[in-house]
Structure 1
């Protein structure tokens, strides 16, 4: 029985880590799903709408990372904030939903939801590559 509790705890921690890692790409995910639903409503068919959604999501993620790699710090922070907003919303909903399974409601549930929002927004901010960069000996840009 103790072994089952240990495995359940490890699985819960892994799911929480996966949740925050996926929340970091919430903006490309929302955009991809949105374009897919729009195209399905316009009778483009499922394969075309799914392909277009994947393409749009990948392009938005690539554009965000590319912009953060070349822009000065102020503009990089603006791009990262655009990505962190939807990630915070997704983190709030996910943390509140998971905590709602164990807590009946009230202020504690809201506090855990906001903590999840903050964690997901920070994960998106860091995942976009906004950490300070430095040049290596061969001139390439790397992380500090």
Structure 2
């Protein structure tokens, strides 16, 4: 039983780290999935749905990074950053709710844990959106 608790805690911690690492991709994922479901409801084939959904997600991510880090006006940059951070925080809140419910915490602790997870995930999304390497650490080349 103790081993299961330890492994469960390690799995939850790893899941949170993965969430923080992928926080920037929440909005592009939702955009791609939303367009894919719309195309599915319109009767398009699976190849078109997959191609357009993937293209939409990549386009939203690329355009968002370009606008957030580029020389766009401050209002545009802040708007794009807030949209990406808001989507990441919403995803983090839902993960916090799920983990708190799995831990069978009282309602106020669940809400506090969910809000804390949302804030940290939003910060991780903001950091990865504005980082020069796209959130991917590249090894330094030694001469």
Same fold (TM > 0.5): yes
Q: Does the Cα contact within 8 Å between 1:40 and 1:49 map onto a contact in 2? A: yes
Does 1:97 find its partner at 2:95? no
Deviations 1:25-56 (A, max 9, x none): 11111100000000000110122111111100
What CA distance in whole angstroms lies between the structure 1 residues aligned with 2:130 and 2:53?
24
SS at match of 1:39: helix
Q: Does the Cα contact within 8 Å between 1:24 and 1:120 map onto a contact in 2? A: no
Does 1:122 find its partner at 2:123? yes
Q: What CA RMSD, in Å, does the superposition of the two structures yield over aligned residues?
A: 2.2
Q: Does the Cα contact within 8 Å between 1:77 and 1:130 map onto a contact in 2? A: no
TM-score, with structure 2 as normaliser: 0.80
Unpaired runs of 5+ residues, structure 1, are: 132-144
What CA distance in whole angstroms lies between the structure 2 residues aligned with 1:109 and 1:119?
15
What CA distance in whole angstroms lies between the structure 1 residues aligned with 2:66 and 2:11?
34
What CA distance in whole angstroms lies between the structure 1 residues aligned with 2:12 and 2:88?
20
TM-score, with structure 1 as normaliser: 0.79
Aligned length: 131
What CA distance in whole angstroms lies between the structure 1 residues aligned with 2:49 and 2:112?
38
Report the structure, 1 or 2, having the larger strand content.
Answer: 1
**Which residue number corresponds to residue 59 of structure 1?**
59
What CA distance in whole angstroms lies between the structure 2 residues aligned with 1:3 and 1:106?
27
**Which residue number corresponds to residue 26 of structure 2?**
26
